[in-house]
Amino acid sequence: MQQAPELESLILQLYTAMAEGDFPTLEQIFSPLPRVLVIGTDPAEWWEGGTVFVEAMRQRREQAGHGMPVAACNPRAFSDGDVGWAADRGVYRLPGGAEQQFRGSFVFLRQNGAWHIVQWHVSFPVDNEEVLWPSEA
């Protein structure tokens, strides 16, 4: 197992492409394999297939009129042969200037000499007490 700065760089490219609506770059970052999985923060955000995810992001951008810029991040990535993985804690900058922390985990596969995302999971950090044991009001 070794550190993988090239995967950290790929994560930064992903964030930039998402913020700018650079869909050709997104299509290159995600593997064309049909079993690619992207899990977002909303219960409805479960996409199977990189092209399915990219198309959903294209539609979302058209509806919202903006991307989701990352204000800060700190990805850490590792690889072993043709498999890589990473985790990140970052901050989305929302329209109007508000910020929202997020966590992301990634799985990569090197195909034909190029790294591609095959799984990405994003969540918002929420205290266990808020979700599992909410106080009774």
- pLDDT tens string for the chain (137 positions)? 999 999 999 999 999 999 999 999 999 999 999 999 999 999 999 999 999 999 999 999 999 888 888 988 999 999 999 999 999 999 999 888 899 999 999 999 999 999 999 999 999 998 888 888 887 54
CATH code: domain of residue 35: 3.10.450.50
Nearest 10 degrees: Cα torsion 82, 17, 103, 111: -10
Cα dist from 95 to 17, 34, 51, whole Å: 17, 33, 26
* Separation between Cα atoms, residue 60 and residue 41, nearest integer Å: 14
Asked if residue 49 is part of any domain, the answer here is yes
Assess if residue 135 is contained within a domain: no
- Count of domains in the chain? 1
Determine, yes or no, domain membership for 131.
no
Give domain status of residue 132, yes or no: no
In a domain, 51, yes or no: yes
The position carrying tokens 């990189």 is 50
d(CA 82, CA 2): 12
- Which residues constitute the domain of residue 17? 2-125
